[in-house]
Amino acid sequence: MPIKNSAKKEMRKSVTKTLRNRQVRGSFRSAIKAFQTALQEKKLDDAKDLFINVQKSLDKGVQKNVIKKNAASRKKSRLSKALKEATTK
């Protein structure tokens, strides 16, 4: 346990940041999972709607510094490619 007051405050801050980051990360991960299951079940209309939600949640993660901009861009690109391949088949 920290002894100095500044160290105690940092510990409190890290706990709140961890909770917020976990919540944001969980939201975009669950959005991605929902999108991928819709693709696997060949529900393309649902997948298109879910892809918009995935993009929004990833952008929120970037905005809140939970995920880096290029990582989010890479995920969106790969998911959009998967959606395009599924619609052309």
Which DSSP category does 2 fall into? -
| pLDDT, tens digit (0-9, with 9 covering 90-100), for 16-74 | 999 999 999 999 999 999 999 999 999 999 999 999 999 999 999 999 999 999 999 99
Task: Indicate the CATH number of 5-88 among 1.10.3720.10, 3.40.190.10, 3.40.50.300, 1.20.58.110.
Answer: 1.20.58.110
- How much is the pTM? 0.87
SS (H, E, C) 20-50: HHHHHHHHHHHHHHHHHHHHHCCCHHHHHHH
- What is the reported pLDDT for 69? 97
- What is the reported pLDDT for 1? 86
- What is the reported pLDDT for 82? 96
- What is the reported pLDDT for 34? 97
